[in-house]
Structure 1
Amino acid sequence: MFFVDTIELEGLGNRSYLAGGAHTAVAVDPPRDIDQVIAAAVRRGVRVSHVAETHIHNDYVSGGLELARVTGAAYLVPAAADVSFERVAVHDGDTVEIDSDLTLRAITTPGHTPHHTSYALQEAGAGVTAFTGGSLLIGSVGRPDLVEPRLTERLARAQHTSAHRLAVELPDETPVLPTHGFGSFCSSGQAEGDTTTIGKEKAGNPALVQDVDTFVAELLAGLEDVPAYYAHMGPANASGPEQIDLTPPAVADAEGIAARLAAGEWVVDLRNRVAFAEGHVAGSFNFEAGGKVATYLAWLIPWGKPVTLLAESPEQLAAAQRELARVGIDRPAAAAVGGPASWLRDGETPASFPRATFADLAGRHDDESVVVLDVRRDSERAGGYVAGSVHIPIHLLHRRIGELPAGEVWVHCASGMRAAIAASLLDAAGREVVSVDDEFPAAAEAGLTVRAG
């Protein structure tokens, strides 16, 4: 009998897998914090004999090289991937034995990257699971525009071909286990549901129900901005990532926090947005630990700028440090645990700003001193927006604050998390701000005019 364990990376919207038999297993697309994979193997009582990458990742730092080093596993990487380390070069059709009667077969599936490779897990020669990485996802495919703009259309067409190859070669009942599609911006669309099979995808995945020209046209039309930090992930993975270091950062006291702010460094408060709005260190930014802290902090921060983390507990700090390391923010410059009372110098008082609902905004919308700022993505705004609102997506705001008209800024997103980030950026820049902590459908319910995009 075989097993497949899923390792969820909710903050990044990805999944990794450990699959094997009674004695040995393969880790597929492992995260940088490999202790999770090792713990899963220990629970199963198996040895990690192989580590397999479906592609050189653009959205996170891989733990594959380190996991292979620590466990002595063979490191399987697509042969066409240009890397600077020793690996087992995998070609189309190659098979490796994972355990008794359990093999892994490579299926070249270019599209997400030129070298992308999926893997079919076979028991006694029959396919039982497909690890599809960034190829065939749940209801979509991996985006084709992360490698080179001139290759985007060619890779989009390759995605269509690759999806059809998987659909032809694998039985309808084969479970499809992708790496992307659960919130990652590597996906061209987000998964609807947690599980799927080849048969289900044949019935509804655009790559399998549309002709190639229609598929490519719609895929390319739906692509949105790429997170800025992606530019650093591929090169890091191709050169061989450094070993992860999750030891606690240096402790920052109130004087140190003030000095780092004065030096133009980023001080990031990980507490929830309600606590931050009620009181925080002036000049600090709010990326709440319960949100997608790694994605949005890595997207917004100038790459390489020192960051100091402020957390309400050691556990919150450790979790955020782990998540940030997954995207290459390896070592916080410093950190502090507690709250504003211990982060402020004697005589200083916490900064704050109000939170509100769309109903509150409806009561002020006709006030000419109010500026409504929408920080959602282009595709979200296309579905409807508050009449008269200014649109600056969250990842562009820190560079475009100067474009906002004078007045009190009421900032909203789709649910409140990104609005809180934006409000902290505006507050730090000296703007009078109100964070709309509400679900966007409540705008129309409150009587605000919502126009079609």
Structure 2
Amino acid sequence: MFFADILEIEGLGNRSYLVGGVRTAAVVDPPRDIDRVIAAAARRGVRIVAVAETHVHNDYVTGGLELARLTGARYLVPTGASVAYVRVPVTDGDTEKIDEGLVLRALATPGHTPHHTSYVLEEDGRAVAAFTGGSLLIGSVGRPDLVDPRLTEQLARAQHASAHRLANELDDEVAVMPTHGFGSFCSSTHAGGEHSTIGAEKSSNSALVQDVESFVKELLSGLDDVPAYYAHMGPANAAGPAPVNLTAPDRADAREIARRLAAGEWVVDLRNRVAFSESHVAGTFNFEVEGQLATYLAWMIPWGRPVTLLAQSAEDIARAQRELARVGIDRPAAAAVGSPDDWVTGETPLASFPRATFTGLTAARGRGEELVVLDVRRDGERAGGWIEGSVHIPIHQVHQRLDEVPAGTVWVHCAGGMRAAIAASVLDAAGRDVVAIDDGYDSVADAGLTLVTPTRR
């Protein structure tokens, strides 16, 4: 009897899988922090004999090379992937024995990348699960625009063909187990659901219910922004990532924090946005450890800039360090645990700013206050409508476009509050008067604010 354990990659919206039988197992698309994978195998009492990559990943740093080295497992990487290390090249139809009666069969599914390969788990010759990576997702497919703009349409058409190949060659009851699609920006559209099968996807997945021309047109028109750090992930994975180092970073006292702020380094406060708004070290940025820390910090920070982490507990520092290592921010320059009173000096005073709701914004406008409404949602979100008179700068561009924010107190909003808090901290660090709207966007109409809805053509 086989098992297929899901390893959730928090924050990045990805999954890895430990799949095997009684004695041995394989890992598909492992995360950078492979201690989690090794612990999962130990709990199962199995030895890892194969590590399989569906593609050279563009959104996170893989732990596959190091996992294969430590366990002695065969490292399976698609033949078409250009990599700098020794691996077992996998082509369409190749098989890899995992345990008695269990085999992984490679199935070429280009689209997310030109070399993308899915792995079908066969038990006694019968397909039982498909590890589809960035090909067929739950309700969607992996985006085709991360490799080269010149290849985007070609890869979109390949995604359609690959999805149909999976649907045509596998029985309806075969489980679909993708790597992307649980909040990952590698998904072409929002993918819903936790579990699926080939049969379920046949009835609902756009790649399987639309003809190729309609599918490609809709897919290309709906692609979201690409996180800036993605540009560094593919090269890192192709070169062969170094082993991750999760030992605790050097501790920073208040003077060290002040020195790093003065040097223009990023000092990141991981506390929740309510605590940060009430009191924080002036000049620090707020990326909640409970939010999508790795995605947004890696997206916004100038690549290679030292980062110092501030948190209430050592556990929060360790969690943040683990998440950042997954996207190539390997070692925090320093860290401090405690509260703002512990981190402040005469050179770096405490700061604060108010939080509000959309109803509060309506009231402030009614009082005639000089204010600007800053919408930091992404382009795709803004396209669905916006608050009349608002200025739009996506969250990942705010720190680069501060001079475009008009004069006045800045009331900043997103869709729920997390990104507004990040943007508010950036504006506050730049010396702007700011109010963070900590409210759901679906409250806008009830607050009496006028919404602009674009005309559909």
The TM-score, its normalising length taken from structure 1, stands at 0.99
Structure 1: gaps of 5 or more residues: none
* Counterpart Cα distance in 1 of 2:398 and 2:346: 32
Alignment of 1:167-186 (within 5 A): 167-186=167-186
1:399 counterpart letter in structure 2: Q
Deviations along 1:227-247, one digit per CA (max 9) or x if unpaired, are: 000000000000000000001
The aligned residue for residue 38 of structure 2 is: 38
How many angstroms does 1:348 deviate by? 5.6
The aligned residue for residue 447 of structure 2 is: 446
Deviations along 1:205-237, one digit per CA (max 9) or x if unpaired, are: 111111111101110001122100000000000
Query: Which 10-residue stretch deviates more, 389-398 or 189-198?
Result: 189-198
1:445 counterpart letter in structure 2: D
1:310 counterpart letter in structure 2: L
The residue matched to 2:280 in structure 1 has which SS? Answer: coil
The aligned residue for residue 378 of structure 1 is: 379
1:401 and 2:402 equivalent? yes
1:208 counterpart letter in structure 2: L
The aligned residue for residue 345 of structure 2 is: 345
* Counterpart Cα distance in 2 of 1:229 and 1:347: 32
1:412 and 2:409 equivalent? no
The aligned residue for residue 425 of structure 1 is: 426
1:197 and 2:197 equivalent? yes
How many angstroms does 1:310 deviate by? 0.5
* Counterpart Cα distance in 2 of 1:217 and 1:50: 38
* Counterpart Cα distance in 2 of 1:208 and 1:327: 32
Alignment of 1:56-95 (within 5 A): 56-95=56-95
The aligned residue for residue 110 of structure 1 is: 110
* Counterpart Cα distance in 1 of 2:38 and 2:24: 12
1:220 counterpart letter in structure 2: L
The aligned residue for residue 215 of structure 1 is: 215
Indicate conservation of the 8 Å contact 2:225/2:379, yes or no.
no
The aligned residue for residue 257 of structure 1 is: 257
The residue matched to 1:54 in structure 2 has which SS? Answer: coil
Query: Kindly tell me: are residues 259 and 347 of structure 1, through their superposed partners in 2, closer, same or farther at Cα, counting changes over 3 Å?
Result: closer
2:326 counterpart letter in structure 1: R
* Counterpart Cα distance in 2 of 1:120 and 1:322: 30
How many angstroms does 1:66 deviate by? 0.4
Q: Would you say how many aligned residue pairs link Structure 1 and Structure 2?
A: 453
The aligned residue for residue 50 of structure 1 is: 50
Task: Give aligned-pair identity as a percent.
Answer: 71
Query: Which 10-residue stretch deviates more, 36-45 or 357-366?
Result: 357-366
1:157 counterpart letter in structure 2: R
Structure 2: gaps of 5 or more residues: none
1:187 counterpart letter in structure 2: S
Deviations along 1:261-306, one digit per CA (max 9) or x if unpaired, are: 1110000000000000000010000000000000000000000000
2:418 counterpart letter in structure 1: M
* Counterpart Cα distance in 2 of 1:280 and 1:215: 48
The residue matched to 1:75 in structure 2 has which SS? Answer: strand
1:420 counterpart letter in structure 2: A
The residue matched to 2:252 in structure 1 has which SS? Answer: coil
The aligned residue for residue 390 of structure 2 is: 389
2:104 counterpart letter in structure 1: L
* Counterpart Cα distance in 2 of 1:119 and 1:65: 18
* Counterpart Cα distance in 2 of 1:348 and 1:282: 6
How many angstroms does 1:347 deviate by? 8.0
The residue matched to 2:410 in structure 1 has which SS? Answer: strand
